[in-house]
Amino acid sequence: MKIGILKTDAVRSEWVPDYGEYPDMFIALLGALDESLKFSVYDVEQGEYPADIDEVDAYIITGSKSSVYEEKTWIADLMSFVRELHSRHKKIVGICFGHQLVAQALGGRVEKSSKGWGVGLHTHRFEQQAEWHDGQSAEFDILVSHQDQVIKNAEGATVLAGSEFCENAVCQIGDHILTFQGHPEFVPAYSREIMEYRRELIGEEVYQQGLASLQKAPESERIARWILNFLAA
């Protein structure tokens, strides 16, 4: 399987030696479970797209510090590309910004949440389980870093999992689109870096809660297996 990673942001240069760019994080996460996977990276923030939509089998949309409702040409272009992928039932996995962009592009709405910042490790719970799920615990722990949230879901979307803080945390459209608000590709050390960098922005109370949450490990490998199950189905 060949996966196209739609890169929507750059990691701060001082962090790249330790954590890589966002596509590197996905390649490390998924490649560790399936060495046969191949990847192509498209920097859509810089206008890079595949010459042929079918040159890869599926697409992953990464996270970004941008908001999907910002009036930026590259965001509008990416929404158009998502609508084309959707019309052709091409598989998409959207992560954080990617989760929100899919919703916004396909009839939903994203806003800055009145609940404030979500950082550190959050627990989300499945209310219904899809075929790609492992059938184990309905709850799972995932690293998050977001202030925007999906307020209205995309047309035809099913909400599979959420929490009191984030109701629309895992959504699926048909058998070809799966999106997560959280970041399975993050490692706790990178989550800590972001929180420390944004400490004043997110507020001391949320910062301290976020740091404390990192004492528990995210279920990144479990979530990665769900993603691969979904893509392979």
d(CA 150, CA 23): 23
Query: Which residues are part of the catalytic machinery?
Result: 96, 183, 185
Instruction: Supply the pLDDT for residue 189.
Output: 98
Domains and CATH numbers, the chain: 2-112+149-186+220-232 (3.40.50.880)
Instruction: Supply the pLDDT for residue 14.
Output: 98
Read off the pLDDT of residues 212-233 as tens digits, 9 standing for 90 and up. 999 999 999 999 999 999 999 9
Query: What pTM does this model have?
Result: 0.97
Residue ranges of the chain whose pLDDT lies below 50 = none
**Cβ atoms 180, 161 nearer than 8 A:** no
Report strand pairing: 109-112 vs 91-95.
unpaired
Distances in Å between the Cα of 138 and the Cα atoms of 23, 84, 85, 149, 202 are 28, 33, 30, 22, 29
Q: Cβ of 48: how many Cβ atoms within 10 Å? A: 12
Instruction: Supply the pLDDT for residue 100.
Output: 98
